[in-house]
Amino acid sequence: QVQMVESGGGSVQAGGSLGLSCATSGSRTSINGMGWYRQVSGKQREPVASITRDGATNYTDSVKGRFTISKDNAKNTAYLQMNSLKPEDTGVYLCYADYVYIGYYWGRGTQVTVSS
* Mean pLDDT calculated for residue range 89-109: 96
Predicted confidence band of residue 17 (pLDDT cuts 50, 70, 90): very high
User: Which stretches of the chain are DSSP H helices?
Assistant: none
In 3D space, the residue among 74, 13, 20, 24 whose CA is nearest the CA of residue 49 turns out to be: 20
Q: Give the pLDDT confidence score for residue 63 in this predicted structure.
A: 98
Asked if pLDDT for residue 16 goes beyond 90, the answer is: yes
Q: Rounded to whole angstroms, how far apart are CA atoms 4 and 64?
A: 26
* Mean pLDDT calculated for residue range 67-90: 96
Question: Distance between alpha carbon 112 and the CA centroid of its chain, in Å?
Answer: 11
Q: Give the pLDDT confidence score for residue 38 in this predicted structure.
A: 98
**Mean pLDDT across the chain:** 96
* Mean pLDDT calculated for residue range 88-97: 97
Q: Give the pLDDT confidence score for residue 21 in this predicted structure.
A: 98
